[in-house]
Amino acid sequence: MFRTIEWLDDNSVRLVDQTKLPLVVEHIVTRRHERIARAIKDMEVRGAPAIGAAAAMGMALAAIESHAKSKEELLQFLEGAARTLNTRPTAVNLTWALDRMLRVARASSGNPDEIVERLVKEAKTIAEEDVQMCRRIGEFALPYMKPGYTIQTICNAGSLATVHLGTVGAVIRLAHEAYDGAIRVYAAETRPRQQGARLTVFELMEDNIDTTLITDGMIGTVFREGRVDCCVVGADRILKTGHVINKIGTYTMAIAARYHNIPFYVAAPTSTFDFKTSPEEVVIEERDGDEIRKINGEYVTVPTVKVYNPGFDITPPDLVTAIFTDRGVIERPDEEKIMGLFGTRLSGRWGGRLPATGQY
């Protein structure tokens, strides 16, 4: 698979336009942070790690755009850019990346040109780290995947949801590689935006991985018929309590998996963990009702019907068998195990500050 997001040598950013896939593979190329903000808002780029990397590159573009004469001027411009780029509330990777870029800018000395250079470097580093984190997730998960396994997933946590490879994508791809293709996937279509049908099916079939598409309502039946061996899903945010926030439908899948004794795994990088927010405080994005009222631009219901359209749900830790991270596997997650894995090691690389609240 190609890279979802790339910083090009001429200081522009290239994104795959995910609203057009799988029928058209088209790229957006821009030098403006506002265009990146629109791409995140309109889901031309989507998936938690991908919007984090895109936002970091948006901040680097903003730094170049600012033509600031002083560090103060640059910081002011960047704070405005962070507010503009912060267009989706649920995936913590977005505020994590914005915060990290601001922190680098604030901590940098030297003239504005040198700080701009540092920010471009940091954005590229965030993207590169994402690729490496995904690979490590896949490596840690491999012993849990057996030859011949069929994996149920939802939404898209593949290459397209990250810079490259994916979180769930890495789990699937590394197992596919290790077991000479003896891995199958059931992809839930993921109403209403169809990320499973449009994106997961597309990228897995590009890689010759045996893929079957089902509607979200078929999950219980597929489990009862013994068609899958485990579930592997991504995450937009994982709390220190072990609560997993992911695409709407994930919670229902976890309940059905528990009823049928099917292991329920979550794959996510460090940047998806939020150690500050409680389950009650998580903001679940509520999306436009027309996403449900319409299919392919046409109403399929009474146009005036009330709609409830939360984009994400919260799965409690007792339904989670294990979380595959880039630092290791957390079985039967709880606060002690999560903080044990991350607590001390989070200081250092990001200056000891935990992921941000998004207050700029």
> In the complex with ligand MRU, which residue's Cβ is closer, 41 or 103?
41
Which secondary structure element, helix H or strand E, spans residue 83, and what is its range? helix 71-85
- Spatial contact of 315 and 254, defined as CB atoms under 8 Å apart: yes
Going by C-alpha positions, the residue among 78, 86, 133 that lies closest to residue 103 is 78
* Nearest distance, CB of residue 270 and ligand MRU, angstroms: 13
State the residues that interact with ligand MRU by CB under 6 A: 46-49, 91, 155, 157, 161-162, 167, 195, 234-236, 246-247, 311
Q: How far is CA 16 from CA 1, 199, 253, in A?
A: 11, 12, 29
> In the complex with ligand MRU, which residue's Cβ is closer, 162 or 321?
162
Cα separation, 134 vs 129, whole angstroms: 9
> In the complex with ligand MRU, which residue's Cβ is closer, 1 or 64?
1
**Strand, coil or helix: 128:** helix
Which residue minimizes CB distance to ligand MRU? 234
Going by C-alpha positions, the residue among 297, 298, 294 that lies closest to residue 309 is 294
> In the complex with ligand MRU, which residue's Cβ is closer, 241 or 309?
309
* Nearest distance, CB of residue 134 and ligand MRU, angstroms: 8
Q: Let me know if 210 is a catalytic residue.
A: no
Q: Of 210, 216, 229, 236, which is the active-site residue?
A: 236
* Nearest distance, CB of residue 343 and ligand MRU, angstroms: 23
β-pairing verdict for 273-274 and 184-188: unpaired
> In the complex with ligand MRU, which residue's Cβ is closer, 63 or 170?
170
CA angle, 354 then 4 then 47, to 5°: 50
- Spatial contact of 46 and 18, defined as CB atoms under 8 Å apart: yes
Backbone angles phi, psi at 55, to 5 degrees: -65, -40
Cα separation, 277 vs 287, whole angstroms: 22
* Nearest distance, CB of residue 238 and ligand MRU, angstroms: 10
* Nearest distance, CB of residue 35 and ligand MRU, angstroms: 18
Tokens, residue 279: 């389950």
Residues annotated as catalytic (active site), given as ranges: 236
